[in-house]
């Protein structure tokens, strides 16, 4: 479990976010969420999805500038291309973008999800699912996108 959360924390460490005031922190904690980042400029939590998977949700606040969420998506992808992590591919659905990475030494896949629509202005929900399972079909990847976005949006006030 510690390795799983450490892996997620390392991936999220490259992401610069602002602590959102519209996040229901009490509900996250009541639902078993574990705070990964809680600073004046960042908020992220992780929770077990099943016995072998962890989902980390991070809230990004701020003006997105030119390119919007698509630019954020590409930036996150590029920041994760480090030694020991292989970039497998990307895709999108109506709800969000997804990037699939694999860490062969750990045997984990990382699915980085960025929500397209903003439920609250200037709030972008991102999620990282770390799992030993490989999801390749469009329907599986869409389910990962939906899981990450729904889990993040349910804690917005």
pLDDT tens-place string over residues 36-45: 988 665 689 9
Q: CA 106, CA 132: separation in Å to the nearest integer?
A: 9
Q: For the segment 10-60, what is each residue's pLDDT rounded down to a tens digit?
A: 455 444 444 467 888 889 999 999 999 886 656 899 999 988 899 999 887
- CATH code of residue 122: 3.40.1000
Q: What is the reported pLDDT for 41?
A: 57
Domain count, the chain: 1
Given a cut of 50, is residue 124 above it in pLDDT? yes
Query: pTM for this structure?
Result: 0.81
The domain of 76 spans 2-153
Q: Who contacts 151 (Cβ-Cβ below 8 Å, separation ≥6)?
A: 47, 55, 57, 127
Q: CA 3, CA 25: separation in Å to the nearest integer?
A: 24
Q: CA 122, CA 153: separation in Å to the nearest integer?
A: 13
Given a cut of 60, is residue 137 above it in pLDDT? yes
Beta bridge partners of 100: 89, 111
Q: CA 21, CA 84: separation in Å to the nearest integer?
A: 36
Taking alpha carbons only, the member of 62, 61, 64 closest to residue 73 is 64
3-state secondary structure of 143: helix
């Amino acid at each position: 479990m510690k390795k799983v959360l450490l892996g997620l924390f390392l991936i999220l460490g490259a992401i610069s976010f602002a602590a959102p005031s519209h996040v229901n922190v009490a509900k996250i904690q009541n639902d078993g969420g574990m705070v990964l980042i809680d600073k004046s400029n960042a908020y992220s939590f992780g929770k077990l999805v099943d016995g072998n998977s962890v989902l980390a949700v991070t809230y990004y606040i701020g003006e997105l500038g030119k390119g919007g969420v698509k630019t954020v998506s590409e930036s996150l992808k590029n920041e994760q291309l480090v030694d020991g992590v292989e970039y497998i591919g990307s895709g999108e659905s109506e709800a969000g973008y997804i990037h699939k990475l694999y860490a062969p030494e750990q045997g984990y896949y990382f699915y980085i999800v960025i929500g397209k629509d903003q439920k609250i202005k200037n709030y972008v929900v991102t999620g990282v699912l770390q799992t030993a399972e490989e999801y390749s079909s469009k329907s599986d990847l869409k389910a990962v996108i939906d899981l990450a976005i729904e889990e993040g949006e349910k804690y917005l006030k």
